[in-house]
Structure 1
Amino acid sequence: MGMVLTDMSVSLDGYVTGPNDSRENPFGDGAEDLHAWLRPTASDDDRAIVQQVIETVGAIVMGRKSFEKNEGDGGWGEAGPMGDVPCFVVTHHAPDRPYPPVFTFVTDGVASAIRQAQTAAAGKDVHLFGATVMQQALPLGLVDELHLHVMPILVGGGTRLFGPLESAVALERIDARITPAATHLTFRVMRP
């Protein structure tokens, strides 16, 4: 079975969006460069990291806010955020209108969404999209690794990647790469 991991661009001060993020302003104020390492002008090292993600992702779990914010004006079309990779959206209420079959709306919580995603991933990794889903899954012991792409920017507000925890979570650093655009860090979540 593949791993469950979060793979997020984050500012040095811990934000994944700037203030006032919305569908019209998905990165939030002042945070346009949070994903600069993904641009076509990024380095070969950055592109290699992206390629590794593409090759290993088997399913995605995202929250409803991330789903709606990234839907765009024309909707999702016939594909999800990574083409035909199955995507499980954690929500309180399934939408009334139809969406492409790549999307499954899960109304019984993040643990159920992750279980369903692991089955669909067929041995590949499950990627958590969005801070809220990760903040729910980490305290439940459902996250295996954190892949953080730390951008050289202080955003000062917005959506924090990490929320309050009832107890400390021990991590083991297993990789660190510095590219012209970002510092890419990988941590394994240590189990008690």
Structure 2
Amino acid sequence: MGSVIMHSAMSVDGFIADEKDGVGPLHDWYENGDTPIDGASGFSVSRVSAEYISAMWASIGALVIGRRLFDLMNGWDGHPPVGEHVVVVSHRPKPEGWHPEASYHFVDGVTAAIEKAQELAGDRVISLNAGEVAGEVLAAGLVDEVAMDLVPVVFGSGRRYFGKVDGQHLLEDPHVVIQGEGVLHLGFKVRR
């Protein structure tokens, strides 16, 4: 089974979006360099960020997101932003007639979402978008690693990286510390 990695860009005070779901400058670093991440995304970042992100994206087999992000992004019009499959945690089914060819799977509950993602991804990585759903997956003990793209901005309030996670969860010392331009990439294994 592939690792489950919670990942997102985050403000230094722990937010992945503001109160209105705006990301403000959190993704500016995707366009501040001269090294393309890949041919399809159109993103150009610093060389060190490109090396890190390219390797990460290439390892992903499935992406797990919540319904809120799916609705905000209209599911990227049926094209997974990373990996080949998207698993959406939702109490509502896939919208009627929405891209029937897309490898998007709607499941009720975080445990079922991780199980479905593991089935689809095989030995590849499962990327878990940070936020409420990810906090539930962490609380369920199903996250192997936390990866953050820390951006030098303070939001003050908004959507928290870990959502409303209950209890304390210990992480190992960082095994990834990469300084890009306008971003600091961090990776922590979850203590077991």
Give the 3-state SS of the residue equivalent to 1:115 in structure 2. Answer: helix
Number of corresponding residues: 178
CA distance in 2, matches of 1:48, 1:33: 21
Counterpart residue number, 1:4: 4
**In structure 1, what is the equivalent of residue 36 of structure 2?**
none
Helix, strand or coil at the partner of 2:28: helix
Show the counterpart of 1:25. none
TM superposition score normalised by structure 1: 0.86
Shift of 1:47: 1.1
Whether the 8 Å CA contact 2:136–2:165 is kept in 1: the answer is: no
In the alignment, which residue of structure 2 is the partner of 1:180?
Answer: 181
Encode CA deviations 1:59-100: one digit per residue, 9 max, x unaligned. 11111000010117xx60x52223x61111110010333333
Distance in 1 (CA, whole Å) between partners of 2:3 and 2:80 is 20
Shift of residue 165 of structure 1? 4.0
TM-score (norm: length of structure 2) = 0.86
**Alignment correspondent of 1:32:** 24
Structure 1 runs (4+) deviating above 6 angstroms are none
2:48 aligned with 1:49: no
Tell me if the contact between 1:8 and 1:147 (Cα under 8 Å) persists in the aligned partners.
yes
SS at match of 1:69: helix
Contact 1:38/1:50 (8 A) holds in 2: no
Deviations along 1:130-159, one digit per CA (max 9) or x if unpaired, are 412211100000000000010000011110
Residue in structure 1 matched with residue 122 of structure 2 by the alignment: 122
Structure 1 residue runs of 5 or longer lacking an equivalent are 22-27
Q: Is the 8 A contact 1:42 1:181 kept in 2?
A: no
In 2: Cα distance, 1:159 partner to 1:189 partner: 22
Q: Secondary structure at the match of 1:171?
A: coil
> Which structure 2 residue ranges, 5 or more long, are not aligned?
32-42
Deviation of the 1:175 alpha carbon? 1.7
Q: Which residue of 1 aligns with 2:72?
A: 69
